[in-house]
Chain A
Amino acid sequence: MLILTCPYCGVAAEETELHPGGEAHLTRHGPGSTDADFEWYLFARRNPKGVHFERWRHLYGCGKWFLAARDTVTLQVFGTYPAQSKYPPREIIAAIRADRPDWVPHWDEITGDSAPGVGNDPAPNPTPARDSFA
């Protein structure tokens, strides 16, 4: 059973008191954005086989949303952090790097630009051409 530590109340919560909320760090497009951006935000997902940043809610605990870094193949949890984080914090990145030396982050997809100062990753993956998706 998955056990995630809620970063707000500190409880090591079992899967049964948590609710999954899908991919984290999506850019939230709203009115005025292009159709492609809107589709990207609502439906397209990285769905990686490996390191995944995701949202969870401590449903039967403090009730708050938080974020977690987890491997979708081994179910290893690299850590949890507050939902207000724009990027995963350094200690999470370090924990991932320690076990997954080949892992390549994708911050520009998350933010539209590189994330200065986060895990020292100035050269993330190229963003796939969004226009070609539809």
Chain B
Amino acid sequence: MPEPSTPTARKPRRYSVFAIAREAMRLHSGWERAWADAQPRGRYKVVVIGAGGHGLATAYYLGKNFGITDVAVLEKGWLGGGNTGRNTTIIRSNYLQDPSAAIYDKSLKLYETLSQELNYNVMFSPRGLIMLAQTEHEVRGYKRTAIANHLQGVATRWIEPAEVKRLVPIMNIDGPRYPVLGGLYQERGGTARHDAVAWGYARACSQMGMDIVQNCEVAGVDIAGGRVRAVETTRGRIECDKLAIVVAGHSSVVAEMAGFRLPIESIALQALVSEPIKPCMDVVVMANTVHGYLSQSDKGEMVIGGGTDGFNNYTQRGSWQHVEETVRALIETFPMLSRLKMLRQWGGIVDMTGDRSPILSATPVGGVFVNCGWGTGGFKAIPGSGWAMAELVAKGAPGPLAADFGMSRFAEGRFIDESVAAGVAH
């Protein structure tokens, strides 16, 4: 049964070595729910649609940075059950364009201290990340990115094939189809535990007195005089002063309810994991030419991300031939993968913009803000995105991180062009 919600903040009970010792003494009978599964009230100052990483981070930083805790986070399914639970958990900030580097590097810096900040172990693992160059085009592109990153203050460097091989001994660098010509190496990049990021933010939001309402699907947006008044949900009408739409693949659907259209197309992106094996690769490797991303989870599974399907899709599952395509390409570079059994395969619906950069923006409707368009690379951006979105919602105008990501950039031709410049992989 869900606990009744209370408008007052719960007394935070910290996780620590002493808490573990205390619970060990009493047979772990005292652990409590990490966050309250709230019943919605009729009115909040801010309603955030979407209890994934981005929505929860938005709520968290609204409370932490701006003192706004009269917040509800609405989720049509279960917390973190969308793309937050469906990605390959890669974290990096080696982008080409300055606005991208700024927000993704802010995000990476927040990830570095997130476990301490939230008092929740998100298992951030800065194990290093290599983006492989397997064509001459990529060699030139990544060398350029390394220089751009240097100017942005983001520590990355170009490494030669021998160093790639030293860092990833299981890799075959000789081809023949796609030989490894080098790589863009970001030592601070890595992975984190995706569910824990959502759970950690949810716990912190709950402790601040915010309501996280699951199984609450938004069915309509009530607008009067060009300004949002309320959202109609499957659990009743909820009034709000401000509304933040943070729903990734369903951004177009919710935007349509609010009466405006986004430069977004929803497509399926899929991933798969192998059976667990002994530690064999302690670096994240992205092979963008062949659309394959590979890392080894702490459980030992090889986590493989593939390419997108390309056509509009809301099904949360990917096409079979893309699995085949991804694996076929990866086993040339990682021959040992051919002996592994695959355990699971899944898909998520990603929201792609025309320039493959996100949208953090006010909208034609007063009090309504959108945070979407993170496409294939949203997980790494969760803390930075929430930070920037909270500022946008609280002040009504974007701060320095979000300023360039307004949706008017498409009319103005001010693209943040990562799809052409840095490869489609995020």
Interface positions of A (Cβ within 8 A of B): 1-2, 15-16, 19-20, 22-23, 35-36, 38-39, 42-49, 52, 54, 72-75, 128-129, 132-134
Contact = CB atoms under 8 A, between A and B. Distances in A.
Interface string B289-321: 000000000000000000001111111000111
A112 B422 CA distance: 37
Residue with the greatest number of chain B CB neighbours at <10 A, chosen from A1, A16, A35, A38: A16
A22 B354 CA distance: 12
A1 B323 CA distance: 12
B65 interface: no
A128 B259 contact: yes
Given A49-B266, A133-B364, 16 more contacts: A1-B319, A16-B321, A22-B265, A23-B312, A35-B411, A42-B354, A43-B263, A43-B354, A45-B252, A46-B261, A47-B312, A48-B252, A54-B312, A75-B313, A128-B260, A133-B260
A1 B324 CA distance: 13
A49 B266 CA distance: 9
Contacts of A38: 411
B250 interface: yes
A65 to B, nearest CB: 14
B313 A72 contact: yes
B78 interface: no
Contacts of B263: 39, 43-45
A42 B252 contact: no
9 contacts: A2-B319, A44-B262, A45-B264, A47-B253, A72-B312, A72-B314, A72-B315, A133-B364, A134-B408
Given A16-B321, A39-B411, A45-B263, A73 B311 contact: no
B266 A47 contact: yes
